[in-house]
Amino acid sequence: MSSPSPLHIALNPHIIEMEYAVRGPIPQRAAELRKQGRTTIPCNIGNPQALGQTPITYYRQVLSLVEDPSRIARERQLTRLLKGNSDPALSDKDLLSDYVLDLAENFLAQIPAGLGAYTESNGPLFIREAVAAYIDKRDKVGSTPGVNADPANIFITNGASEGVKHIIELLVTGPNDGIMIPIPQYPLYSATIKKTGGAQINYYPDEDHGWLLNREILQEALASARQNGVTVKGLVVINPGNPTGAILNRQTIADVIDFAEENHIVIMADEVYQENTYGAEFFSFAKVLNDRKVPLFSFHSISKGFYGECGHRGGYLEVRNAPVEKSTNRPLIELLQKLASVSLCSNTVGQLLVYLMVNPPAEGSEPYPRFIAEKTAILNDLYEKAMMIREGFKSMEAVECFGRTGAMYLFPRLNKLPKGTNDFDYCMNLLETTGLTTVNGSGFGQKPGTNHLRIAFLPPKDLIKKVLPEWIDFHNRYVNG
Amino acid sequence: MSSPSPLHIALNPHIIEMEYAVRGPIPQRAAELRKQGRTTIPCNIGNPQALGQTPITYYRQVLSLVEDPSRIARERQLTRLLKGNSDPALSDKDLLSDYVLDLAENFLAQIPAGLGAYTESNGPLFIREAVAAYIDKRDKVGSTPGVNADPANIFITNGASEGVKHIIELLVTGPNDGIMIPIPQYPLYSATIKKTGGAQINYYPDEDHGWLLNREILQEALASARQNGVTVKGLVVINPGNPTGAILNRQTIADVIDFAEENHIVIMADEVYQENTYGAEFFSFAKVLNDRKVPLFSFHSISKGFYGECGHRGGYLEVRNAPVEKSTNRPLIELLQKLASVSLCSNTVGQLLVYLMVNPPAEGSEPYPRFIAEKTAILNDLYEKAMMIREGFKSMEAVECFGRTGAMYLFPRLNKLPKGTNDFDYCMNLLETTGLTTVNGSGFGQKPGTNHLRIAFLPPKDLIKKVLPEWIDFHNRYVNG
């Protein structure tokens, strides 16, 4: 009685229409090439450790202890045994610091069931308190205290993505609810809006002026949405920008807040690249907001910065001035809590990494010098690699790259392409020719008629040195082809 | 220009209506009591390590090494140094086995970027291959090979919940798309159906006959759905049952498959308690399905069984006979892949634990005896605790508990309650009086007019011995109150 062919049924049309270029056709083609034995360089995604960035030693030492708590006592005994041991293969240089051992012990004292138990759905209180303290310290203005973060409004999440999805799911009630997103944008936003069935409202930062954002640009998008009967509920800002790398200044952020306040729109601030400013000052939306009563959702992650712990999927969402549901009077925080509880909790190792991210080793502590050296080396290296690639663009015909260098990406504009081709064709050919895996600008959205690509500046310098001339060569032949 | 009051906006009505009792009012009241210094016993949720169950040593030794790979060489050197060491505080009994060290090394060789990088969205191929091999071994019938699992149809997920959500999201296209679920059920299902805006179609296993399930019961639910204009797309079966603990026999599973085939319905088999059968044989849906072409989604998890690694959020979803989207002809697997890719990947530690779950230490290997001893002790202990509580029911007036003992729960029926009260009142009073935190039957759904509670049989025996008389005493006073 077996059916002869697969069952044909209707499936969710929103998911059918959804797109996610970061893992789309170009990376899929790269995977095929790898299966055929070709070497590819995965610059399609901000995945630093996949390109050789080493994890911060301090984080991993603590994780390793907390996963196997019996090791803490054992390491203390080892210390006793090995102090002054003359065996060159194993000496006290291999010992863990008391600071790290104490930290692991202290962490476990606050979460006695260890990493194997579900936690509170929003994360254990002590981790949310640590996040709140970190935010307060980051946003303090001289000796003037700002508005304090509230642990009750912090949710620890599986990466930043989970928090973003929860907020968009809550805001969108139907096809006429709109979320404003920058173009270009990180496709998590367009995909999630599509999945919820809401309206994607594009706004266009001014590329030729360093991806400048101002109220006129926002106003124009809002007016056009309203003309189409769309109620704009939320406004996404990615700072530093993904894919553009642009970094917002304080005044621009204040303008965005004014705009949101006047138009009763909530702000979603994607601030996962806040450590990736390479010398520029980072202003959080929370800091600029201070005591103004505009709803703000801000997102952070352990995947970026100098941490690069993408695979561990940790992040947090901080809410300020949470809205209230208008027909039921239910606070949004309560609904968020319910959404989180259906997934039980985010993974505990990601939670621990969030805790470590907001608790770097204290100045003067044993692990401090190595931590700072590793952090500095990673951030300097990232910046130098970005500069090498930006420099390379000068040798490519009709390529322009605007804005400051932030995040982990460059988003150059390809002003000249062979007739009838676009950036997708370019990126696919670049992959086939050099193994370099990038994402076409259209995967992030771009002004009609323009072409771009996004490249993550993550490969080791040697590899960049090797592939950049190949790319330049490919480029100058391709655009004239 | 600050607004005087919080912004009032419309939020997603599906999320407003969604309920999730496992973390609902009773556990929330328990949290309040704990804040006041009261001791509570969290039997509202299957969270074994929160109640003192210790993790399997083998898993944690590997995790600890893989998080800090520098330790692998160091441990090998320690072995050299400590073999025969006479220090009583640290001797070769503390050494890690070569088997564990080799396994960690081998794991890292297959995932060279380590745990800090995003993996493929569905999980690395070698983990999916290991899962497929595990399924094939589990479902082999004597020397006759069954249908092999295909790694391309396996998705590693953040716990089983994530896979369940993806499938329901894909199946539901509007309010007339129905998913059949058992009553009582695990509220992940009702909550997710509500969130997607689909129709929840209840079917009622026969409690008085050990939660018997047959075609008539399914047929009745289907007929009533059709009468209401609902197209049933999916059928959820939880085996062993949550909250009932009931274990399905082979014939019942075959009947469910017949029913699904005839009615063009996909089966969602929640098999996360497959190790929790306490001597009864477990039949997977895949095994009974064999070469029949009925679409099957089966879910497994590292959170239950004897593993109990809830906090690490690992699981997998296996698809057989995947449907095809009827208007676009797109294979469901492709859409699932896209859904997974928007979250980038599940957390890598959960993935590693899935790998370890399907790769227990080989018979005769160094870690094998301890692994088996720990596994046996945990499962025996769980069963003994279930029996202690079941025995206690005999001393409670008008309490009946049906079906075999499976999963981690008992779901007794409360046949007598004071007029005007229900199981919610009972559970709340039980909490206030004894600290025992359970979930009212209505949180899972139940036949109208009946009352139940779910208790996870997880507390240490000492604690059960202490609280059980208090519960019996409370019960017999309350029901006559």
**Residue pLDDT, tens place only, B45-96:** 999 999 999 999 999 999 999 999 999 998 898 888 777 666 655 666 678 9
**Residue pLDDT, tens place only, B103-145:** 999 999 999 999 999 999 999 999 999 999 999 999 987 766 6
Nearest to A311 among B90, B94, B115 (CB): B115
pLDDT band at A1 (very low <50, low <70, confident <90, very high): very low
CA distance A406 to B250: 59
Burial (CB count <10 Å: 0-12, 13-18, 19+), residue A294? buried
**Residue pLDDT, tens place only, B137-193:** 999 877 666 789 999 999 999 999 999 999 999 999 999 999 999 999 999 999 999
pLDDT band at A351 (very low <50, low <70, confident <90, very high): very high
What SS3 class is residue A116? Answer: helix
Contact A89 B77 (CB under 8 A): yes
The alpha carbon of A108 is separated from its chain's Cα centroid by a whole number of angstroms, namely 28
Q: Quick check: B176 contacting A, CB < 8 Å?
A: no
Question: What ipTM score was computed for the predicted complex, to two decimals?
Answer: 0.94
Q: Give residue B301's pLDDT.
A: 98
CB contacts of A10 in chain B (<8 Å) are 173, 177, 325-327
CA distance A299 to A20: 20
Looking at the complex, report in whole angstroms how far the Cα of residue B80 sits from the nearest Cα belonging to chain A.
10
Average pLDDT over residues B448-466: 96
Contact B6 A323 (CB under 8 A): yes
User: Which among B197, B269, B210 has a CA at the least distance from the CA of B234?
Assistant: B269
pLDDT band at A57 (very low <50, low <70, confident <90, very high): very high
Q: Give residue B429's pLDDT.
A: 97
Contact B9 A192 (CB under 8 A): no
Contact A173 B325 (CB under 8 A): no
Q: Which two tokens stand for residue A311?
A: 């695979």
Q: Which two tokens stand for residue B387?
A: 């029996």
**Residue pLDDT, tens place only, A382-408:** 999 999 999 999 999 999 999 999 999
Query: Residue B3: pLDDT above 60?
Result: no
In which region does residue A55 sit, left (phi positive, over 0), alpha (psi from -120 to 50) or beta (all else)?
beta
CA distance B414 to B401: 9
Q: Give residue B93's pLDDT.
A: 63
**Residue pLDDT, tens place only, A104-149:** 999 999 999 999 999 999 999 999 999 999 999 999 876 666 789 9
Q: Give residue B384's pLDDT.
A: 98
Query: Residue A4: pLDDT above 60?
Result: no
Q: What is the DSSP letter of A151?
A: G
Contact A18 B332 (CB under 8 A): no
Q: Give residue B95's pLDDT.
A: 85
Residue-range domains of chain B with CATH: 13-51+372-478 (3.90.1150.10), 57-83+94-114+361-366 (no CATH), 117-357 (3.40.640.10)
**Residue pLDDT, tens place only, A274-283:** 999 999 999 9
Distances (CA, A) of A283 to A251, A273, A299, B119: 10, 12, 14, 32
Long-range residue pairs from B130-138, CB within 8 A, at least 24 positions apart, any chain: B130/B355, B130/B358, B130/B359, B131/B156, B131/B316, B131/B318, B131/B354, B131/B358, B133/B358, B134/B357, B134/B358, B134/B359, B135/B284, B135/B286, B135/B318, B138/B284, B138/B287
Q: Give residue B84's pLDDT.
A: 64
Average pLDDT over residues A328-355: 95
CB contacts of B121 in chain A (<8 Å) are 23
User: Which among B179, B156, B301, B154 has a CA at the least distance from the CA of B242?
Assistant: B301
Looking at the complex, report in whole angstroms how far the Cα of residue B259 sits from the nearest Cα belonging to chain A.
12
CA distance A2 to B258: 10
pTM of this prediction? 0.95
Average pLDDT over residues A323-334: 94
Q: Give residue B85's pLDDT.
A: 63
Looking at the complex, report in whole angstroms how far the Cα of residue A250 sits from the nearest Cα belonging to chain B.
19
Query: Residue B206: pLDDT above 90?
Result: yes
List the beta strands (DSSP E) in A302-366: 315-320, 324-325
Other Cβ atoms less than 10 A from the Cβ of B340: the count is 24
Nearest to A347 among B117, B293, B350 (CB): B350
Average pLDDT over residues A179-196: 96
Contact criterion met (CB below 8 Å) for B270 and B315: no
What SS3 class is residue B99? Answer: helix
What SS3 class is residue B235? Answer: strand
Q: Give residue A2's pLDDT.
A: 46
